[in-house]
A and B are shown apart, each in its own frame.
Chain A
């Protein structure tokens, strides 16, 4: 187990460093990186425009930028936004609560919906209920996140519902499949033959076995929620991390985009690793 944890920690570190670096390269080579939108202000003199250009010059050498960025990041300094001049750390701290509320709340609700529906389908064993739930999930899977976000705007619904709809549509088919597959395992069939009730079968025989594959998708569901959070926050006008990421991408705001990428990578990779370790522990118990 210790070896697994060390291996996972090394994987997290390597993924974060590489992910941040790749992101920095993509932003650096994106068209428009070298310019500031203020350059079009006709009132600005040549010197003022030159000062705006100079601000972007420091990030031109991406290897030097990333090395310096990582050194500073280890001390909690993520630099300053190229667009607003505010500290990146402060920007993220100010916006994190809104994202926790929207993306975190949406994710929790998505799990609740997906799990409740899958359990209902597993317990009821009704073909009609299964078809209805699968059709609803397929519909939300087919709709782009932006459309679901806009629907929330026009319905004046809380944006976390959009995240919940997006994530649960992806979660439900998987949870349902795991629960159905486990429900057909020999020990479950034997319990049913002995006359055990459906709820007892679910909680005593299905869920303990299904826990391991379900743990594996926690990390994925977080990544889906964070991915959906960007268009939802941008469209619904939520002042969170997603909106910040959207604005930073439009403004080619290198320090902000790199920090957000590193942050999201840390969250998703750590969760994935934690789930792997937990799954391993569950497997050990069963063995």
Chain B
């Protein structure tokens, strides 16, 4: 009898212990593709960016919530008046995951490798034609000198991951909260807590709280949603509105709409001089009145409401209101006005003829919009634009193409009339958009690689963008870039349609998450995230 009672008591005691043992301290979420690189200086894709964010250290960091610049590996910094030199004082006693020490030599080596033309680092391109060199003042102080003044010099270092100059693991030696412990291509990446991570919480406890992160590689968004609902993954960093609504139906507390993101959806007309399109169509596309009329005739409010299930806002201009500092608040709100559209078209001698809009030469106004196949939001928007423009007698044909074919048309062959695509803005600073606004830029989509500006307004944008890129006065830079935004809204080279909302899903088992609009939306404060007792292993 006594033995039986003892056995029952032991079982009762062991039961909660067993349950506790099942609580996992491992965060799980999906990457949508294999990372193209683990070298943080070569990152161009989202998956590589996620790994870089979780495993590397930066001198300074933009707080994703306040958008203010905060110290990280640098405890303080000072930019010279001429904007050519920045001096960083570095944090002492910081070690990589393999135990090697971090100091000024690593910063200098990172800058040297990033600026090497053979590296082809996209981060070097932020500095334009200027060169960057680093001079070690002491092990804990480094000067970075640019050949030309750099606007927003300090904030650029939020993007530059410091790579070890001495560790045999090279870029895999982590200064960030985690290091790469395992990688099975196409399957998963396992990140383990960096035992040497320098950051501590208010109580002096070493961060991060979560021991490991399992990143499964899964391109299928339906599977991702299904597994989130089953509790197999803890978060979805970036959701589309369809899956957001799906999760909201069964787990309303898990979904978060942080408001308009930095990303925009836009359409533009092909204005390339030697594009293989009829000359009369090129003349329409190069007419400001024509482009503005199209912008007036598209009901952006409806696009946001119908195509995105109200999880988007009508776009005002090239910069989203989510970009607190750079957004020009004086821009007029998006306006849907068919009469204004018709007036502008009449100014260019377009006329309605039995429900068909014709130009001065009698050509019916008809064009095709290309967009990427499989993106149902863009397909929906294109169809709605087709309907809106039919109201002013314009016939629009929607053509969906797979992505490589689409890129070839808009960047190399220029055999298209109008395109509908999105713009992903990872950074806040307009310098990151230089290639889009400079007339000579590769990403100047409506007319790339112009030898010299083909219009007066493009020449003015060139001048303003160059001026802001070398100004060290933030207020002056803002003034220049506000004017760029005004010109873009007046000329409509890109017709900005909507800013999608930053949607995410986080399991209630993740404690401390505050989703924001800046990337990475849900785990920007990864060090401070915890898993609650309802996070169980499976």
Contacts and interface: CB of A to CB of B under 8 A. Distances in A.
Contacts of B34: 84
Contacts of A34: 408, 412
A244 B37 CA distance: 17
Interface in B38-88: 44-45
Contact of B435 (A32, A45, A86): A45
B223 A35 contact: no
Given A48-B125, A49-B442, A91-B185, A237 B402 contact: no
Contact of B185 (A154, A235, A239): A239
Interface in B423-468: 423, 432-436, 440-443, 449
Contacts of B407: 32, 35, 37, 39-40
Contact of B187 (A41, A86, A239): A239
Given A32-B408, A154-B226, A41 B403 contact: no
Contact of A94 (B186, B218, B222, B401): B186
Given A44-B125, A236-B223, A237-B219, A98 B405 contact: no
Given A32-B403, A32-B405, A35-B404, A239 B412 contact: no
Contacts of A243: 186
A250 B404 contact: yes
Given A31-B404, A235-B220, A95 B186 contact: yes
B24 to A, nearest CB: 20
Nearest to B188: A239
- Interface size bracket, A side: 35 or more
A30 B460 CA distance: 40
A230 B226 CA distance: 22
Contact of A240 (B186, B218, B223, B432): B186
Contacts of A45: 124-125, 128, 435, 442
Nearest to A83: B36
A36 to B, nearest CB: 8
Contact of B404 (A47, A239, A251): A251
A32 B217 contact: no
A158 B409 CA distance: 40
B404 A37 contact: yes
Interface string B388-426: 000000000000011111111101100000000001000
A76 interface: no
18 contacts: A31-B405, A33-B404, A34-B412, A37-B407, A39-B407, A41-B122, A42-B436, A46-B435, A51-B120, A84-B34, A94-B185, A95-B186, A98-B186, A153-B222, A234-B220, A239-B187, A247-B33, A250-B402
Interface of B: 33-34, 36-37, 44-45, 117, 120, 122-126, 128, 184-187, 216-220, 222-223, 226, 230, 401-409, 411-412, 423, 432-436, 440-443, 449
